[in-house]
Amino acid sequence: MHHYGTVVCSTPGHYRVRADGGGDYWCALRPELRRTAERDRIHGVDSVVVGDRVSFTVLGAPPGGGAPGAGRIEGVEARRSRIGRRREDGRDRSRARPREQVLVANADLLVVVVAAASPRLKPGVIDRLCLLGRSGGVEPLICVNKVDLADPARLDRELLPFRQAGYAVHLVSAATGAGLQALAAALRGRLSALVGPSGVGKTSLANRLVPDLAAQTGAVNVKTGKGRHTTSASLLYELPGGGWLADTPGLRAIGSVSDPAGPGLGGHFPELEALAYGCRFRDCSHTHEPGCAVKAALEEGQLDPQVYRRYVRLGK
């Protein structure tokens, strides 16, 4: 009999699955899936990740005390969305295309976590992460942590372009609790992923949003059986009131956006989208082509140079 559930933790060769009816199971892949996963891994493809919906067979029921049972994953459902980044450590050997590391599958929200200070806020990081979500079919939400350390007026100026583009912006402090109630309400009932650079406080936010987080990190280590919470891989937690929260590893490098003039442009840079209809070429990159309406508007002072610089940096 097949059961259904969601992958909440992934370790090499084993996956922790939360069954729809309750209970956790450490599952291996059935042989055919394991061989496929091994082939995919060679080409930089992640076959099973946190957030994936799977069917599985129970091999051992969960014992008392909350310890997980044992199972075998029989199938993986098609993903409706993904949060993935280009790997910088190599290329697909068969097609010479950049590898992609999928951090979370089937997410509804990509929570772009940045710090208002320490480390300082970088609008370019927000740009890249918003487009990372949009390219995978995930709605971005901007969360600025450590607002207790920043000048409010400066922060408002830096975030104004993102508000004007229609993004929801939440100002919070994991240290003081400011803004967390509104953020929790925005995440309720959805699968959300905290994504951002190291040091911005993603795990501190997760600890605030999931009160029993320490209990949910139990038995993560298959070999030792000891609970631990070091965010070296994505982990999925149930939120109070419904929904899921994924805490992902800190991104040391986000990578370039290969096509900043692609589908994400319209929602992320509405000023450029309106001008782009006047370009001579439909695939204009707005950097060097003749007859570019965006470049013309820039030269005539009709386009904010800071907006254009943000756009150009995305392709680097």
Q: Model confidence over 197-254: pLDDT tens digits?
A: 888 988 889 999 998 775 444 433 444 333 344 445 678 999 998 999 998 776 655 5
Domains, the chain: 2-76 (2.40.50.140), 82-247 (3.40.50.300), 265-314 (1.10.40.50)
Question: What pLDDT score does 103 carry?
Answer: 87
Cα separation, 208 vs 180, whole angstroms: 8
Tell me the pLDDT tens digit for each residue of 88-119. Answer: 554 444 444 446 778 899 999 999 999 999 88
Buried b (16+ CB within 10 A) or exposed e, 256-285: ebeebbeebbebbbebbeebbeebeeeebb
Question: What pLDDT score does 228 carry?
Answer: 41
Counting beta carbons within 10 angstroms of the beta carbon of residue 195, is it exposed (0 to 12), middle (13 to 18) or buried (19 or more)? buried
| Residues lower than pLDDT 70 in the chain | 42-44, 65, 86-99, 214-233, 250-267, 315-316
CB 7 within 8 A of CB 29: no
Q: How far is CA 38 from CA 42, 52, 89, 140, 301, in A?
A: 7, 17, 18, 32, 54
Residue type, 120: R
Would you say the C-alpha torsion 262, 265, 266, 271 has a positive or negative sign? negative
Cα separation, 63 vs 65, whole angstroms: 7
CB 247 within 8 A of CB 206: yes
Torsion of CA 205, 207, 213, 219, to 10 degrees: 80
Provide the whole-model pTM: 0.83
Torsion of CA 4, 219, 196, 45, to 10 degrees: -50
